[in-house]
């Protein structure tokens, strides 16, 4: 618990900025991470699709071959939506100075990021370091709440 508090407070002190600004930095880092992952998985999806389409005799065979990648695509969409929701909550925090809605959006975002990481590992994708960084930042914000 104390570890989490330290993890969350130190970055804020280093940045010397208000919590909403640090929160925006965390969300923006997550967004850049999603873009970095997208840059890796989109060409890989296209490449595996070409192979699966050539090798498959039926739609079912093709669908089965692409299942892992379709799961990754769905995980990406879920993460994108969770990020946009967290941004809406942060905008509300900045407008009304109530932090609760933003904090409430973080577990869904963290769950989406972790789920995406799991899916990328199943797909044997080299996970961009940005995703690990984003996970660390969102975890740090949640630890403040728990602490």
Residues at the interface with other proteins (CB under 8 A): 3, 6-7, 10-11, 14-15, 21-22, 24-32, 34-35, 38-39, 41-42, 45-46, 49, 53, 56, 58-59, 62, 66, 69-70, 72-73, 76-77, 80, 83-84, 86-87, 91, 133, 136-137, 140
CB of 70 to other proteins, least distance (A): 7
11 or 147: CB nearest other proteins: 11
Sign of torsion over alpha carbons 40, 77, 47, 67: positive
CB of 23 to other proteins, least distance (A): 11
Task: List the one residue out of 90, 107, 109, 88 whose CA is nearest residue 98.
Answer: 90
Cα three-residue angle 98-101-105, rounded to 5 degrees: 145
CB of 129 to other proteins, least distance (A): 9
Angle formed by the axes of helices 129-146 and 100-122, nearest 10°: 140
């Amino acid at each position: 618990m104390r570890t989490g508090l330290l993890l969350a407070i130190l970055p804020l002190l280093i940045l010397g900025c208000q919590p909403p600004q640090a929160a925006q930095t965390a969300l923006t880092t997550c967004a850049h991470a999603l873009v970095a992952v997208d840059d890796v998985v989109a060409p890989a999806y296209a490449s595996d699709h070409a192979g699966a389409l050539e090798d498959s005799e039926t739609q079912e065979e093709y669908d089965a071959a692409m299942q892992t990648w379709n799961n990754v695509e769905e995980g990406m969409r879920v993460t994108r939506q969770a990020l946009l929701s967290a941004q809406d909550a942060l905008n509300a925090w900045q407008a009304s100075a109530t932090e609760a809605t933003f904090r409430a959006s973080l577990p869904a975002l963290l769950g989406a990021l972790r789920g995406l990481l799991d899916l990328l590992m199943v797909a044997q994708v080299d996970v961009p370091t940005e995703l690990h960084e984003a996970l660390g930042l969102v975890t740090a914000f949640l630890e403040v709440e728990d602490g």
